[in-house]
Homo-oligomer: A and B are copies of this chain.
Amino acid sequence: MTVATKILIVEDDANIADLLRLYLEKEKYEVQIASDGGQGVEQFRRFRPDLVLLDLMLPVMDGWAVCRTIRSESKTPVIMLTAKGELDDKVTGLKQGADDYITKPFEMREVLARIEAVLRRSGAAPEKENKRLVFDKLIIDMDSFELTVDGKKIPTPPKEMELLYHLASTPNRVYQRNKLLDEVWGFDYFGDTRTVDVHIKRLREKLEGVSDQWSLKTVWGVGYKFEVV
């Protein structure tokens, strides 16, 4: 369903870079490494990462220059890696460009936390803001993965939850079957569009006649929507 968040590491020390990759990949990020500033910029353009981890001290083109270049081309968040001491007075200035900075030697835990924080802030968040939608006699709660209909918890499989959540996130908006396949099943899913219909039916069985405030409506020739009055 979700597309992996891409991270570009620009770091000349292969050991550090590898270590970072190891942990980040474990967290399901898609990682790419550039070992100098020039490469960094180039790979940034091809790879289009969601976030950049950038060493301040780099051969060929220093971190600060790379940061500026990236910033001039996009809003992609950048986290600076700096050796202790290098920062002091500089950092205050640096922070203007970078979204955050971490001083080496760093703890992995720290790095992961900062990455998540920055991603959340930048909106390309893996975590959605409020994972809970409430309507008349209907609660769609993605934190507990529970569907509550008229006060009763209704066991609901993941795909159905995701589909309903997706539709109900923007009530009254029509989604084409194709769009739903892309957005709920993932852009790399190549199944039949009838699949959506079947899931809609399964949801309707659970939601039928519960409230007149909302319903799963078919828009003939187009797709489906979660309609509220």
Contact = CB atoms under 8 A, between A and B. Distances in A.
A187 B23 contact: yes
B23 A145 contact: no
A145 B173 CA distance: 8
A113 B100 CA distance: 22
A28 interface: yes
A112 interface: yes
Interface residues of A, number: 36
A144 interface: yes
Copies of the protein in its oligomer:
2
A25 interface: yes
Contact of A144 (B28, B174, B221): B174
**Helix, strand, loop or mixed for chain A's interface?**
mixed
B121 A28 contact: no
Contacts of A190: 26
Interface in A171-213: 172-174, 178, 182, 187-188, 190
A40 to B, nearest CB: 13
Given A108-B188, A172-B144, A187-B23, A28 B222 contact: no
Given A143-B173, A173-B144, A108 B187 contact: yes
A22 interface: yes
Given A144-B225, A146-B172, 17 more contacts: A23-B187, A23-B188, A25-B113, A25-B120, A26-B117, A26-B190, A27-B178, A28-B113, A33-B130, A108-B188, A112-B187, A143-B172, A144-B172, A144-B174, A144-B227, A145-B174, A145-B219
Interface of A: 22-23, 25-28, 33, 46, 108-109, 112-113, 117, 120-121, 130, 143-146, 157-158, 172-174, 178, 182, 187-188, 190, 219-222, 225, 227
